[in-house]
């Protein structure tokens, strides 16, 4: 650290890793990579501009129509009135009180989703949920946009919480390096995505590991619509989006037909192969799931499929599956089928073999670390006890009182009168934003804590300006990383921004629950308390962590918690002795057929994996919507965060759409051209980048802020004006963002836009 009186340098942590920050006076002036990071992310480059951007919310603001007439309509169309903090807090507290007294706490939705800050204490979701619990509870949500569908289906198959399975059991990169001969990656493994990780990733390792895999001669095969989903040097088998299950079934068919399936493993460690096999071989429906059958669906030729199946059987093979595959209609099927395929190969439980999920999706997967406990701000108990699957918010608002299915349950949607959101941007992340915009007009009141005037803040009634992580002190730590950070307050709050904690403490006081919410502690008291607990728990696990004062001085520490070894091979104890180390499934084994799921009676997710064609994919393309849209994560930032500063970069907006040369030529499109991307649900602008990925497929990353409601074309390029708002199935009810057909046309005119 090189500090002078007017310029200071500190390290802070974020979801995209640690970085150095230069502060001069009240301003962040520059950022630099953290020295120990072999492949630092460029995301911090835009931070100084974003933190001080004109799009920051300066003062508490209330929408005029709501303030003057309590009008619901007009969200997003109207101007805001700025008020002093005390007045705005009084109004918000009185309104929360009115709603809970008139309609009960089950009429309050506790804004469920979004990544907010990486700091442990100022975690916006924990803050809003604790506050709402203190005032009598709220309707909550379960699962995530990331992996909601997998979280529902995979426990039926492996008997373990999906995230625990991923984070605590899957093979680390070192094991894969040492043992895997063939890495088969459905949806790739993209270092662009492993730039980020929930709570931070300090050493970005993914690209480095792939260089080592190549040096060792491992064959790494990316299967999916985009060549660029895997590092340079990987092989690529192009595949139509949404058709992975067909390909996996065909690989299974080859194994079964050629006597390559591991009978002993199937008999010892699985249940239900006998119920699945007749479907696979076509005995129940007259259609063998052969390579020829699959080839016509997924666009991969039958010889490639046969050769791949044989190689997978002959070598130590790890199948990896990107999370994107289950953010699609019937996303349960490729997830379940990948487990069945791995079971037939019989390598589950062997180092570097079997199946794994989400490698590359976030940077922490593949690091095998001792899991330390603690540093969680307690959220308390929710007396309401009503939860919806997180991605069903639009349906909930549209259909109050109507029943819906979810993983064997059937319940009515609650009738929501008030939404409180902190730390997320639903008008970036939810599907079919034009439909959400309509549904969003129904509640009586919407309150949002947000640092920036995002599309969600613009559609709220009351907006409280929140600090960013750089304007307050916190601790950065996650179980997926081996560093620990004191995140110092770098600058004073921008404008009149306050910490979420202070906003909720002030509301709690007005609602008579100040003591419940704060327990008499300031933010720094809480940080000290949570840190002391964490330190004590770490000591119990034999890991020494400095005391808080020392950490503050040191700024960060590297913890000696790397582990690699037999206990990091997924399901190894189960494989060795399935009788004595059974899985927590009803049968104690891997469920190829699930009586439980079969018992739900869902035609969109029957008792074993099946091929179910999506409603929108190249197999149902029409002249009005001939192209499949995939909407991956943005490489240059985290979701919609810091977007307004990025948009100021010349030529950066609208967002870039990747299109194949054949499709571009047919529409007279060249790289750099301004485009209109559209379907029956909506339209957005984008800028063309012609690139040789898959014909018929276009890719438009998420991240742009949704435009103004008056726009009949979203100016910035948010793909969610085009996506379908439908659950993956009645079982998973995850989001199905990747199931969408669109058309693209050239647009005349100039395009530079800002927020
Ligand atoms: N089409 C399509 N859509 C998708 C996806 C897809 O693949 N395709 N992916 C989905 C997935 S997996 C995800 S995770 C979501 C991402 O969904 P989003 O919710 O859009 O994610 P973020 O942009 O990270 O939202 C975080 C918000 O919190 C704000 N914030 C940051 N710090 C603080 C704080 O301290 N306090 C408060 N109050 N606010 C803060 C930020 O400014 C930002 O607006 O998008 C989903 N949407
Ligand atoms: N830089 C950066 N990294 C991020 C994020 C970010 O915002 N920015 N967000 C993080 C979050 S919250 C999440 S959940 C993860 C998401 O991690 P993933 O879900 O793994 O990543 P995506 O980028 O959505 O999708 C990866 C690729 O899947 C391919 N794909 C789409 N549909 C199909 C299909 O049907 N079959 C096959 N085989 N492939 C398909 C697309 O070509 C796409 O590029 O990323 C995380 N990483
Ligand atoms: Mo996500």
Residue 671 domain-assigned (yes or no): yes
- Per-residue CA distances from 200 to 13, 119, 366, 387, 646 (Å): 7, 9, 14, 28, 21
**Model confidence over 260-301: pLDDT tens digits?**
999 999 999 999 999 999 999 999 999 999 999 999 999 999
Nearest to 16 by CA among 40, 32, 38, 35: 40
pTM score, whole prediction = 0.97
Relative to beta strand 556-558, strand 627-630 is unpaired
Q: What are phi and psi of 672, to 5 degrees?
A: 95, -15
Chain-centroid distance, C-alpha 23: 31
* Of 149-163, 197-211, 562-576, 620-634, the least confident: 562-576
- Provide the domain limits for residue 122: 61-143+373-558
Domain for residue 2, yes or no?
no
Please tell me the distance between residue 643's alpha carbon and the centre of ligand 1 in angstroms.
Answer: 11
Q: Which two tokens stand for residue 574?
A: 């189960």
For ligand 1, the distance from its centroid to the CA atom of residue 152, given in whole angstroms, is: 22
What distance in Å separates the CA atoms of residue 711 and residue 647, rounded to the nearest whole number? 18
Mutate which of 187, 360, 619, 724 to test ligand 2's pocket (most atoms within 8 Å of Cβ)? Answer: 187
pLDDT at 111: 83
Residue 639: CB within 6 Å of ligand 2? yes
Question: 284 and 377 share a domain?
Answer: no
| Candidates 16, 113, 602, 617; catalytic one | 113
Q: Whose CA is nearest to atom 12 of ligand 2?
A: 146
Query: Of 229, 234, 633, which is best to mutate to test ligand 2, by the most ligand atoms within 8 angstroms of its C-beta?
Result: 633
Residue 678 binned pLDDT confidence (cut-offs 50, 70, 90) = very high
Band of residue 380 on the pLDDT scale cut at 50, 70, 90: very high
pLDDT-derived band at 169 (thresholds 50, 70, 90) equals confident
Positions of E strands within 563-609: 590-591
Structure tokens belonging to residue 575 = 């494989």
CA distance 19 to 10: 8
| 529 Cα–ligand 2 center, Å | 37
222 lines ligand 2 (CB under 6 A): no
CA nearest 387: which of 152, 159, 596? 152
Q: Residues 304, 207: one domain?
A: yes
Query: What are the φ/ψ torsions at residue 648 (nearest 5 degrees)?
Result: -75, -15
Same domain, 153 and 139: no
Distance 429 CA to ligand 2 centre (A): 13
List, for residues 593-615, the tens digit of each pLDDT value.
999 999 999 999 999 999 999 99
| pLDDT exceeds cutoff 70 at 750 | no
677: β partners = 684, 744
Question: Is residue 267 assigned to a domain?
Answer: yes
**Residue whose C-alpha is closest to residue 280's, from 298, 318, 319, 254:** 254
3 falls within a domain: no
Residue 563 lies in a domain: no
- Number of Cβ within a 10 Å radius of residue 310: 15
Mark whether 495 and 438 lie in a shared domain: yes
Q: How many CB atoms are closer than 10 A to CB 200? A: 25
Determine the atom of ligand 2 nearest the C-alpha atom of 699: 42
Q: How many residues does the chain have?
A: 755
DSSP category for residue 118: S
Ligand located closest to 637 CA: 2
Mean pLDDT lowest among 5-9, 282-286, 336-340, 563-567? 563-567
Q: Which residues contact 333 (CB under 8 A, 6 or more apart)?
A: 245, 605, 609, 610, 611, 612
Report the pLDDT value the prediction gives residue 483, as an integer from 0 to 100. 97
Catalytic member of 16, 66, 85, 115: 115
Q: pLDDT tens digits for 524-577?
A: 999 999 999 999 999 999 999 999 999 999 999 999 999 876 556 789 999 999
**Does the pLDDT at position 3 exceed 80?**
no
Residue 2 in this model has a pLDDT that exceeds 90: no
Q: Do 103 and 44 sit in the same domain of this protein? A: no
Are residues 377 and 508 both part of a single domain?
Answer: yes
219 and 355 share a domain? yes
Q: Which ligand is nearest to the CA of 226?
A: 2
Which residues pair with residue 24 across a beta bridge? 27
Do 703 and 622 share a structural domain?
A: yes
* Domain identity same for 460 and 546: yes
For residue 454, give both structure tokens. 């995002």
**pLDDT band (50, 70, 90) for residue 753:** confident
∠199-204-209 over CA atoms, to 5°?
A: 135
Ligand 2 pocket check for 196: Cβ under 6 Å = yes
CB 627 within 8 A of CB 222: no
Q: How far is the C-alpha of 168 from the C-alpha of 170, rounded, in Å?
A: 6
Using a 6 Å cutoff on CB, does residue 638 contact ligand 2?
yes
pLDDT above 90 as % of the chain: 93
Q: What is the mean pLDDT of the chain?
A: 96
pLDDT in tens, 122-141: 999 999 999 999 999 999 99
Q: Which bin fits 136, alpha (ψ -120 to 50), beta or left (φ > 0)?
A: left
Residue 349 pLDDT exceeds 90: yes
> pLDDT of 457-513, one tens digit each?
999 999 999 999 999 999 999 999 999 999 999 999 999 999 999 999 999 999 999
CATH code for the domain in which residue 109 is found:
3.40.50.740
Question: Alpha-carbon distance 612 to 617, whole Å?
Answer: 12
Shared domain for 267 and 313, answered yes or no, is yes
Nearest atom within ligand 2 for CA of residue 322: 20
Asked whether the beta carbons of 380 and 515 are under 8 A apart, the reply is: no
CA–CA separation, 292 vs 282, rounded Å?
13
- Give the integer Cα–Cα distance in Å for 642 and 649: 12
Catalytic site residue 138?
no
Atom of ligand 2 nearest to the CA of 147: 14
Is residue 610 assigned to a domain? no
Q: Number of folded domains in the chain?
A: 4
On whether residue 565 sits in a domain, the answer given is: no
pLDDT at residue 5 greater than cutoff 80: no
365 lines ligand 2 (CB under 6 A): no
- Spatial CB neighbours of 55, under 8 Å, sequence gap ≥ 6: 452, 453, 644, 755
Residue 251 inside a domain? The answer is yes
Q: What residue has token string 């609602």?
A: 511
pLDDT at 751 over 70: no
CATH of the domain at 725: 2.40.40.20
First to last CA, the chain: 35
Q: How far is the CA of 63 from the centre of ligand 3 (A)?
A: 30
Q: In what order do the strands lie in the sheet with 474-476?
A: 474-476, 483-487, 556-558
CB 690 within 8 A of CB 659: yes
Q: Is the CB of 133 under 6 A from ligand 2?
A: no
Residue 183 CB less than 6 A away from ligand 2 = no
Neighbours of 672 (CB within 10 A): 12
Q: Quick one: which atom of ligand 1 is closest to the CA of 457?
A: 44
Tell me which ligand sits closest to the C-alpha of residue 119: 1
Dihedral, CA of residue 427, residue 429, residue 432 and residue 438, to nearest 10: -30
CA 688 to chain centre: 26
- Residue of the nearest CA to atom 47 in ligand 2? 193
Task: Please give the pLDDT value at position 748.
Answer: 84
Strand order in the sheet with 235-238: 235-238, 219-224, 182-186, 317-321, 354-357
**Ligand 2 centroid from CA 361, angstroms:** 6
Ligand 2: residue whose CA is nearest its atom 27: 187
Q: What are phi and psi of 62, to 5 degrees?
A: -125, 135
- Report which of 77, 34, 91 is spatially closest to residue 463, judged by C-alpha positions: 91
The minimum-distance atom of ligand 2 relative to the CA of 115 is 12
Residue 206 has pLDDT above 80, yes or no: yes
351, 379: one domain: no
Q: For 584, phi and psi rounded to 5 degrees?
A: -90, 40
Q: Which atom of ligand 2 lies at the shortest distance from residue 631's CA? A: 24
**Ligand lying closest to the C-alpha of residue 699:** 2
Contact between residue 56 and residue 39 where contact means Cβ atoms under 8 Å apart: no
Same domain, 172 and 222: yes
Atom of ligand 2 nearest to the CA of 630: 31
Catalytic site residue 501? no
Rounded to whole angstroms, the Cα distance separating 512 from 129 reads 17
Alpha-helix runs per DSSP H in 61-147: 64-69, 85-103, 124-134
Q: How far is the CA of 635 from the centre of ligand 2 (A)?
A: 10
């Amino acid at each position: 650290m090189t500090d002078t009186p007017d310029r200071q340098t500190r390290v802070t942590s974020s979801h995209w890793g640690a970085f150095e920050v230069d502060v001069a006076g009240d301003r962040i002036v520059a950022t630099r990579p953290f020295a120990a990071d072999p492949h630092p992310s460029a995301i911090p480059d835009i931070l100084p501009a974003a933190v001080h951007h004109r799009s920051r919310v300066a003062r508490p603001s209330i929408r005029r129509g709501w303030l003057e007439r309590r009008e619901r309509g007009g969200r997003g169309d109207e101007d805001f009135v700025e008020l002093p903090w005390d007045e705005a807090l009084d109004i918000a507290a009185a309104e929360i009180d009115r709603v809970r007294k008139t309609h009960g706490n089950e009429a309050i939705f506790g804004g469920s989703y979004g990544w907010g800050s990486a700091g442990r204490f100022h975690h916006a979701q924990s803050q809003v949920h604790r506050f709402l619990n203190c005032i009598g509870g709220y309707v909550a949500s379960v699962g995530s946009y990331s992996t909601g569908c997998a979280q529902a289906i995979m426990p039926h198959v492996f008997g373990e919480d999906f995230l625990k399975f991923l984070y605590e059991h899957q093979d680390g990169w070192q094991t894969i390096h040492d043992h895997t001969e063939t890495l088969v990656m459905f949806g790739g493994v993209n270092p662009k995505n492993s730039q980020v990780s929930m709570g931070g990733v300090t050493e970005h390792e993914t690209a480095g590991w792939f260089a080592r895999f190549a040096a060792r001669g491992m064959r790494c095969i990316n299967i999916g619509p985009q060549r660029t989903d895997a590092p340079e040097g990987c092989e690529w088998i192009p595949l139509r989006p949404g058709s992975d299950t067909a390909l996996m079934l065909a690989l299974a068919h080859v194994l079964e037909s050629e006597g390559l399936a591991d009978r002993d493993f199937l008999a010892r460690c699985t249940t239900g192969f006998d119920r699945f096999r007749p479907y696979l071989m076509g005995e129940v429906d007259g259609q063998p799931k052969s390579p020829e059958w699959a080839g016509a669906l997924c666009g991969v030729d039958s010889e490639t499929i046969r050769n791949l199946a044989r190689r997978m059987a002959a070598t130590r093979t790890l199948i990896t599956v990107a999370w994107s595959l289950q953010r699609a209609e019937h996303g349960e099927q490729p997830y379940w089928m990948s487990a069945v395929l791995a079971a037939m190969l019989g390598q589950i439980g062997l180092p570097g073999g079997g199946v794994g999920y989400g490698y590359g999706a976030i940077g922490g997967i593949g690091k095998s670390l001792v899991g330390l406990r603690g540093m969680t701000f307690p959220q308390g108990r929710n007396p309401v006890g009503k939860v919806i699957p997180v991605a069903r918010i639009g349906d909930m608002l549209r259909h109050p009182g109507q029943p819906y299915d979810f993983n064997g349950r059937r319940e009515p949607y609650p009738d929501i009168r008030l939404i409180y959101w902190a730390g997320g941007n639903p008008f970036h992340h939810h599907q079919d934003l034009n439909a959400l915009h309509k549904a969003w007009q129904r509640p009586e009141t919407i309150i949002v804590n947000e640092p920036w005037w995002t599309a969600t803040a613009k559609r709220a009634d009351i907006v409280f300006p929140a600090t960013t992580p750089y304007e307050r002190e916190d601790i950065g730590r996650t179980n997926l990383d081996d560093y620990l950070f004191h995140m110092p307050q770098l600058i004073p709050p921008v404008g009149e921004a306050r910490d979420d904690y202070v906003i909720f403490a002030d509301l709690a006081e007005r609602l008579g629950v100040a003591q419940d919410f704060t327990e008499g502690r300031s933010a720094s008291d809480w940080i000290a308390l949570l840190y002391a607990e964490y330190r004590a728990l770490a000591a119990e696990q034999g890991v020494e962590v400095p005391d808080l004062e020392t950490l503050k001085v040191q700024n960060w520490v590297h913890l000696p918690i790397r582990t690699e070894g037999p206990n990091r091979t997924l399901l190894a104890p189960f494989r060795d002795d399935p009788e004595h180390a059974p899985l927590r499934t009803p049968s104690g084994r891997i469920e190829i057929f699930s009586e439980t799921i079969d018992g739900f009676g869902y035609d969109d997710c029957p008792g074993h994996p099946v091929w179910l064609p999506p409603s929108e994919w190249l197999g149902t393309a029409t002249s009005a919507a001939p192209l499949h849209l995939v909407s991956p994560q943005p490489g240059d930032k985290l979701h919609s965060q810091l977007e307004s500063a990025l948009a100021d970069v010349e030529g950066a907006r609208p967002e870039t759409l990747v299109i194949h040369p054949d499709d571009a030529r047919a529409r007279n499109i060249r790289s750099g051209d301004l485009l209109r991307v559209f379907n029956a649900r909506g339209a957005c602008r984008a800028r063309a980048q012609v690139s040789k990925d898959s014909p018929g497929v276009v890719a438009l990353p998420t991240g742009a802020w949704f435009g103004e409601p008056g726009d009949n074309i979203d100016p910035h390029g948010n793909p969610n004006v085009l996506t379908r708002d439908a659950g993956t199935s009645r079982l998973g009810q995850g989001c199905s963002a990747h199931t969408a057909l669109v058309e693209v046309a050239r647009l005349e005119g100039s395009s530079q836009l800002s927020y």
